[in-house]
Amino acid sequence: MPEPADNNTADAAVEADQPELLSRRDRRRSEDADARTGTMPIISPEDIDNRTPPRPVRSGSWAEAAAAADAPAHDDPTAPGRTAPGRSPLAVPPIESIPPLPPRAAVPAAPDSAPSVPALPTRSTRSASRAAALASPAPDFISSPGLFVREQKPRPVGGLRGALFTMTGGGLNLGPSTRQREEDELARRISRQLQGSYNTAVLSLKGGIGKTSTTVGVGLTLAEFRGDPPCAIDANPDSGDLVERALGEGIYQQQSPRTITDLLNNVESVTSLTALARYMHHAGRLHLIAGEQDPEVSDSLTAEEYLRIRELISGYYSVALTDCGTGVTHNAMSGILQSADNLIIAAGYAVSGAKRARSTLHWLAGHGYEDLARNAVVVITDKDEVSSRVDKDAIEDHLAGICRQLIAVPHDRGVADGDLVTLDVLRPETRRAYREIAAAIVDGYV
């Protein structure tokens, strides 16, 4: 059995094989206590006294604590530029010995043509936009109905457009024709709402040229399109037939033939429209005051009496027509012209009728009624189908330059017979002429 090996002999062999390990270990053992040997360093009482005391922790807010921790301590011996007692200062190499940094690579400049990126809206900008949107009034069905409902084309009436609309049950709507649009515009002008009461006088220097028929035709047209009924006054001193032309001779005789004279005798007692209606005649929605038929008193209407009638009528009617009869010098004429807002001058295609119409305008301009003459509407009625030798265009040109508007009424048996005038039996061209006259009259009011 072999003998155990001697430990000293083994250690010597190990040390012989690893001389470098033994030398490092011996060096570590011989170093100071603060070397990496795993042993605790020896601290003397002097070292304890020279150590920097820890900073007190203040019981403030987190921001105060952070600011206090970041602030440099004046008495801190470890602060830069100070040396702790018993320790050598930190060796800082001189600035000249520090090698310079390598040059930074040049950054290429942005091209001028680079697209600019729009800045994103900030929170305050978005809040301001939202507040402005809420402050602006939102559209509603009352103020902006077109935003919610598509506009519907007007229904065409008559002609090919109207036939196509009827056959397709409204599926094909080409809209109204040019003629229908013109008719709608005339209706709009006639039906305009008026603020106050207005009076139009119809006069001429020659009888039998369509003065009374124009009064009736235009009065019935106004009654057809306006929401408020018009009133027509017969101020003809020569037994005017205004009511007979509007109602017919037989019907007028069957009614109580109250006249303008009866109204004047009881004007103080008329305090309502109901009381006034007892002295009125009605042709549909056209209300009429008959002229005096007695020759002995027919010429007795004075300017003052007419003004009393006009003042009474103005309280109940917004539009009044006054049939003045023939001439401009009878007793009531000054009161009629004084209260008139515009005039209709009746004329004919005969040479004599055109000359008298021009003379009427000149007389008005020379007697203080220049505005009425300038704004007058001249109506030429073709009652007798004048000879082809008469140049109608020349007569119209002769009168058109001295008035506001000239309108021609074509020949129509319903007007030329001198009997009852009703819109139902008139030709379409005649009815259109009366609509143009009615629209021109209302144009003079507004």
Report CA torsion sign: 399, 400, 402, 405.
Answer: positive
Angle, in degrees to the nearest 10, between helices 428-443 and 178-190:
40
- pLDDT attached to residue 126: 65
Question: Going by C-beta distance under 8 Å and a sequence separation of 6 or more, which residues neighbour residue 371?
Answer: none
- pLDDT attached to residue 35: 47
- pLDDT attached to residue 88: 47
Helix (H) or strand (E) holding 165: helix 159-167
Query: Do the beta carbons of residue 426 and residue 412 sit within 8 Å?
Result: yes
Question: Going by C-beta distance under 8 Å and a sequence separation of 6 or more, which residues neighbour residue 309?
Answer: 233, 260, 263, 264, 267, 289
The lowest-confidence range among 44-58, 155-169, 253-267 is 44-58
Tokens of 5: 């090996």
Looking at per-residue pLDDT, the higher value among 400 and 381 belongs to 381
Tokens of 175: 């809209």
Report how far residue 423's alpha carbon sits from residue 92's, in angstroms, rounded to the nearest whole number.
Answer: 121
Alpha helices in 297-411 (DSSP H): 303-314, 333-339, 351-366, 370-374, 392-400
Alpha carbon separation from 98 to 94, 101, 103 (Å, rounded): 7, 9, 15
Mean residue pLDDT across the chain? 77
Query: Tens digits of per-residue pLDDT, 250-294?
Result: 676 666 678 999 999 999 999 999 999 999 999 999 999 998 877
SS3 call for 421: coil
0.85 cut: is pTM over it?
A: no
Report how far residue 290's alpha carbon sits from residue 47's, in angstroms, rounded to the nearest whole number.
Answer: 138
Alpha carbon separation from 153 to 148, 165, 171, 337 (Å, rounded): 16, 11, 12, 45
Q: Which long-range contacts (CB under 8 A, 24 or more apart) does 306-310 make?
A: 306/235, 306/332, 306/335, 306/336, 306/339, 307/335, 307/338, 307/339, 308/264, 308/267, 309/233, 309/260, 309/263, 309/264, 309/267, 310/199, 310/233, 310/335, 310/339
**Percent helix, strand and coil across the chain, each to the nearest 5:** 45, 10, 45
- pLDDT attached to residue 63: 59
